[in-house]
Amino acid sequence: MEHKEIIGKRVILREQREEDAKFFAHWFNQPMVMFQCGFERPTNEEEEKKYINASHKSEDSVWFTITDLDGNVIGETGLLRMFPDWHCTDLTIIIPDPKSQHKGYGTEAIRLILDMAFEEFDMNRVSIGVVGLNTDALEFYKKIGFKQEGIQEQGYYYNGEYSDFVMMRILRCEWK
């Protein structure tokens, strides 16, 4: 599903482009990023181009590349598995480069995408699953307003290690 560009005070959410694939392929092959995000195997630029092109055709998802105001790619975010009849969707966001983390980019990007989910797509509930060992992400989502609603014990496996998978959500009435 294609969508318009969203310009914030610190970040821009724009349509993903094939040239973004080189950034994603580099970042998504970093062991820590693979672990924190649940990526099961390494990727490459061609695979990432396929994902980007497929995202434009999806009827139940909207994906954005996150850039700073100068246009530098810093991550991606999106709404996926949108169920309009149920007014529910899942959220994804990743800012994989440590140099771009803890600068407010993720906070603004998630606020922009949640505004879109609740206002434009009329969602009532937005969910996210988080690897339990990714404590920074768990704290980040709590700060935004997400609430933990369940734990899939040892529901995640990576590199010989099990972790819980934490299910979180935010409702429209809790937003803002």
Q: What's the total number of domains in the chain?
A: 1
Task: Determine the pLDDT at residue 111.
Answer: 97
- Is residue 121 one of the residues assigned to a domain? yes
- Is residue 106 one of the residues assigned to a domain? yes
- Is residue 16 one of the residues assigned to a domain? yes
Structure tokens at 80: 């996926």
Contacts of 28 (CB under 8 A, 6+ apart): 34, 37, 39, 42, 43, 48, 96
Centre a 10 Å sphere on the Cβ of residue 55 and count the other Cβ atoms it contains: 19
Number of Cα atoms under 13 Å in the Cβ half of residue 140: 23
Q: For the chain, 176 residues long, give each residue's pLDDT as a single digit of tens.
A: 667 799 999 999 999 998 998 888 888 777 776 677 666 777 777 888 888 888 777 889 999 999 999 999 999 999 999 999 999 999 999 898 888 888 999 999 999 999 999 999 999 999 999 999 889 999 999 999 999 999 999 998 887 889 899 999 999 999 97
- Is residue 21 one of the residues assigned to a domain? yes
Task: Determine the pLDDT at residue 38.
Answer: 67
Task: Determine the pLDDT at residue 117.
Answer: 97
- Is residue 162 one of the residues assigned to a domain? no
Residue 77's CATH number: 3.40.630.30
Task: Determine the pLDDT at residue 145.
Answer: 97
- Is residue 160 one of the residues assigned to a domain? no
Domain that holds residue 21: 6-128
Which pTM was predicted?
A: 0.88
- Is residue 85 one of the residues assigned to a domain? yes
Residue with tokens 């972790």: 163
Give CA–CA dist 16/62, Å, rounded: 10
Contacts of 143 (CB under 8 A, 6+ apart): 107
- Is residue 176 one of the residues assigned to a domain? no
Task: Determine the pLDDT at residue 79.
Answer: 96
Query: Helices marked H in the chain — which ranges?
Result: 21-27, 31-37, 45-57, 105-115, 135-144
